[in-house]
Amino acid sequence: MSEPVSDSATDFPIITLDGGAATGKSSTARGVSQQLRFLHADTGSHYRALTFLLLRKGISPEESDELTEALEEMKLSAEVDGTLASLIADGKKLSPEDLRSLEVNRNVSSFAALPPVRNRLLRYQRWHRELALEKGFLGLVIEGRDIGSVVFPEAPFRFFLEADESTRIQRRSEEGQEDSVAARDKADSGRKTAPLHCPEGAIRINTGNYTLEEVISQICQKVQNDSDALQ
């Protein structure tokens, strides 16, 4: 894994999707990636994977020499299945059950607030542009909480998804998950390093006002109309 040539998407279309918990980022990114033949990277799963692995090592969510050493020793790569790129840490791909466990839900925001964790993943996340090019995709759609503000701040297609709390709680319940969306949003918005916020110039979409298909269509139409690479 090498440093990407550029974090600008002027020559290769990159879509950033930011937003709080359960605003529909993953479902939207998955649909957009399939329609446009873009690689899909879910950075939330990156933080979940590191949270799971660090907890397994008995490391608590606070800065320490033990945390830094564990992060430095991790070897990160990716496995591409269809349009989705999944994080591989030390040769292992975690299951959805591991990534969405109650223990991970309770600790992921605390780990994600730590600069060593964010710095370890920043270069890895930017590398997905090269991965998308290498695998022959037409672009990259990458979702998270600081993508349009920190990871790819110059991407021309930046969106911020939002929905009211009751809608998001219902979505988590329908997925069979216990996840305090308000508490996670507060933690992610209040952290000092790369806080959750709508990037300047990003297009806001209230996903509670539209069906999933309508949200996907809005984004695809915007990208197809404005991207020379897809003409």
CA–CA distances in Å: residue 134 to residues 33, 131, 192: 16, 5, 34
| Nearest CA-CA partner of 36 in 46, 28, 25, 44 | 28
217 is in an annotated binding site: no
Beta-carbon contacts of 114 under 8 Å, excluding residues fewer than 6 positions away, are 61, 62, 63, 67, 193
CATH at 209? 3.40.50.300
Q: Does residue 2 belong to any structural domain of this protein?
A: no
* Range with lowest mean pLDDT among 8-12, 101-105, 107-111: 8-12
Q: Average pLDDT over the chain, rounded to whole? A: 89
Does residue 198 sit within a domain?
Answer: yes
Residue 24 annotated as binding site: yes
Question: Residue 57: pLDDT above 90?
Answer: yes
Is 45 assigned a ligand-binding role in the annotation? no
Is residue 21 marked as binding? yes
Would you state the pLDDT for residue 177?
Answer: 65
Question: What's residue 193's pLDDT?
Answer: 77
Which range of residues forms the domain containing residue 52?
14-230
Q: Does residue 179 lie in a domain region?
A: yes
Task: pLDDT band for 3, please (50, 70, 90 cuts).
Answer: very low
**pLDDT number for residue 231:** 59
Q: How far apart are CA 48 and CA 25, in angstroms?
A: 15
pLDDT at position 56 is 96
Q: Is residue 7 a part of any domain in this protein?
A: no
pLDDT over threshold 60, residue 100: yes
Token pair listed for 26 = 């993953």
Residue 82 is labelled as binding a ligand:
no
Is residue 105 within 8 A of residue 178, CB to CB? The reply is yes
- Pick from 126, 139, 157, 118: which is nearest to 16 by CA? 157
Tell me if 25 is assigned to a ligand binding site.
yes
Pairing of strands 140-144, 39-42: parallel
Average pLDDT score over residue span 38-46 = 97
Q: Is residue 122 part of a domain?
A: yes
**Is 27 annotated as a binding-site member?**
yes
Q: Does pLDDT of 169 surpass 80?
A: no
Question: If you average pLDDT over residues 169-179, what whole number do you get?
Answer: 68
Does the residue 4 lie in any domain? no
Closest-CA residue to 164 (of 208, 215, 198): 208
Cα 21 from Cα 184, distance rounded (Å): 7
Number of domains in the chain: 1
Q: Residue 219, class by beta-carbon neighbours within 10 Å (0-12 exposed, 13-18 middle, 19+ buried)?
A: buried
- Beta strand 14-19 with 157-162 is parallel
Contact between residue 158 and residue 219 where contact means Cβ atoms under 8 Å apart: no
Mean pLDDT: which of 3-17, 33-47, 183-197 is highest? 33-47
- State the pLDDT at residue 196: 78
C-alpha torsion sign, points 110, 112, 114, 117? positive
Give the E-state strand segments of 8-139 in sequence order: 14-19, 39-42, 76-81, 84-89
The answer to whether 57 is a known ligand-binding residue is: no
Domain contains 32: yes
CA-nearest of 115, 148, 136 to 15 is 148
Whole-prediction pTM: 0.87
Predicted local distance difference test score (pLDDT) of residue 5: 40
Q: Is residue 148 included in any domain, yes or no?
A: yes
pLDDT at 73: 96
Least confident of 92-101, 192-201, 211-220: 192-201
**SS3 string of 162-228?**
ECCHHHHHHHHHHCCCCCCHHHHHHHHHHCCCCCCCCCCCCEEEEHHHCCHHHHHHHHHHHHHHHCH
* pLDDT score of 4 more than 70: no
